[in-house]
Structure 1
Amino acid sequence: MEHVNAASAPELERTLLTCLRSPRWSRRVAEHRPYPDLASLLAASDEAAYDLAWPDLTEALAAEPLPALAPDTYAVAHTALSAAYAAYEARFGHVFVICLDGLTPDETLDHLLQAIRSRLTNDPEEERAVVADELRRLATERLIDTLRGAGL
């Protein structure tokens, strides 16, 4: 935590933007330092994410990559997933986001297809809530990975 607390605000905000492409979120997390421990940092991250308005989330969504399958997955699976992504984007106007933390590569395809099918039945307001939750989960996962990998 000392690296997070000691980093300059611009440096920390740049690092945080790799976790969630929301300048408002990264500023809020950086501004609430010092953090006594990881749990406090993650709680602040969640709180900042919960406070994001839809325009902030849309900004973050614009930079989100689509979840990918392992390269050795059958071509027909890639085709099915591409069609599902296209249907989702046509319905909601943004990329499909989902946190796949804890899934094995063998579980990914079925989980993605099931989630897209299920979420396509949501009305736009329901889906906004799901998207916000998935972005928070992704930010948490990426923040933990960043802290492990960058020595922050």
Structure 2
Amino acid sequence: MRQPATRTAVPAQSSGPAPAPGLDDFNTAPSTEAEAAMLDCCGSHRWAQRLAAHRPYPDLDSLLAAADEAGYDLAPADLSEALAAEVSPGLHDTAPHSAHLALRAAHAAYESRFGHVFVMCLDGLDPAEQPDQVLAGIRARLGHEPDQERVVSADEMRRLARGRIIDLVSGS
């Protein structure tokens, strides 16, 4: 199942040229498995195929650089496909009902304006701060023009994909 668009784990950076623990598995996996793993990181088939096709990667930094490059090369249809695979960020079940209603209304307004779910990478933020950051992000980005918001959404997708790749190859 697709991870929510609000990752909370703080990504660890590669400490050198040695492969990350799961990188060897990714590099040697059958093409269909490698592509499926990348689809869990970003829902664009073209992006996932490109990363799977260019294996092996000598280290995590090389894989992340390739992911960034593939992300910058996404055609509008590829970005739309990736955004369609995302899940709107939500709140923990124990959050007040009023907070759930406010967030649901904000997501609905965003999706109505832009035609896709709101994505935002929350790496490094305390979980208690995340609901406020999501609501503030939606409110701020509702003021964007559609072309400007597609650029911001693409950047957030790249950030999300990077974090998911780090989690994948580090076994988090």
Question: What's the TM-score once normalised by structure 1's chain length?
Answer: 0.95
Show the counterpart of 1:149: 171
Show the counterpart of 2:113: 91
Q: Which runs of 5+ in 1 are unaligned?
A: none
- Asked if residue 35 in structure 1 is aligned to residue 33 in structure 2, the reply is no
Show the counterpart of 2:37: 15
Listed as ranges, the matches of 1:1-152 within 5 Å are: 1-149=23-171
Greater Cα offset, 40-49 or 27-36: 27-36
Q: Does the Cα contact within 8 Å between 2:90 and 2:103 map onto a contact in 1?
A: no
Give, in whole Å, the separation in 2 of the partners of 1:38 and 1:81: 35
- Larger RCO (CA within 8 A; separation ≥ 6): 2
Of all paired residues, the percent bearing the same amino acid is 57
Give, in whole Å, the separation in 1 of the partners of 2:78 and 2:100: 30
Question: What's the TM-score once normalised by structure 2's chain length?
Answer: 0.84
Looking at secondary structure, tell me which structure has more helix per residue.
1
Let me know the Cα RMSD of the aligned residues. Answer: 1.1
Report SS of the residue matched to 2:128: helix
Q: How far apart are residue 117 of structure 1 and its match?
A: 0.7
1:9-62 deviation per Cα after TM superposition (whole angstroms, max 9, x unaligned): 111001111111111001111111221100000000111111001110111111
Q: Does the Cα contact within 8 Å between 2:119 and 2:156 map onto a contact in 1?
A: yes
> Which one-letter code corresponds to 2:146 in the other structure?
P
> Which one-letter code corresponds to 1:110 in the other structure?
D
Give, in whole Å, the separation in 1 of the partners of 2:124 and 2:90: 15
Give, in whole Å, the separation in 2 of the partners of 1:136 and 1:145: 14
Give, in whole Å, the separation in 1 of the partners of 2:170 and 2:64: 14
Give, in whole Å, the separation in 1 of the partners of 2:44 and 2:110: 22
Q: How far apart are residue 76 of structure 1 and its match?
A: 0.5
Q: How far apart are residue 148 of structure 1 and its match?
A: 2.3
Q: Does the Cα contact within 8 Å between 1:70 and 1:105 map onto a contact in 2?
A: no
Q: Which runs of 5+ in 2 are unaligned?
A: 1-22
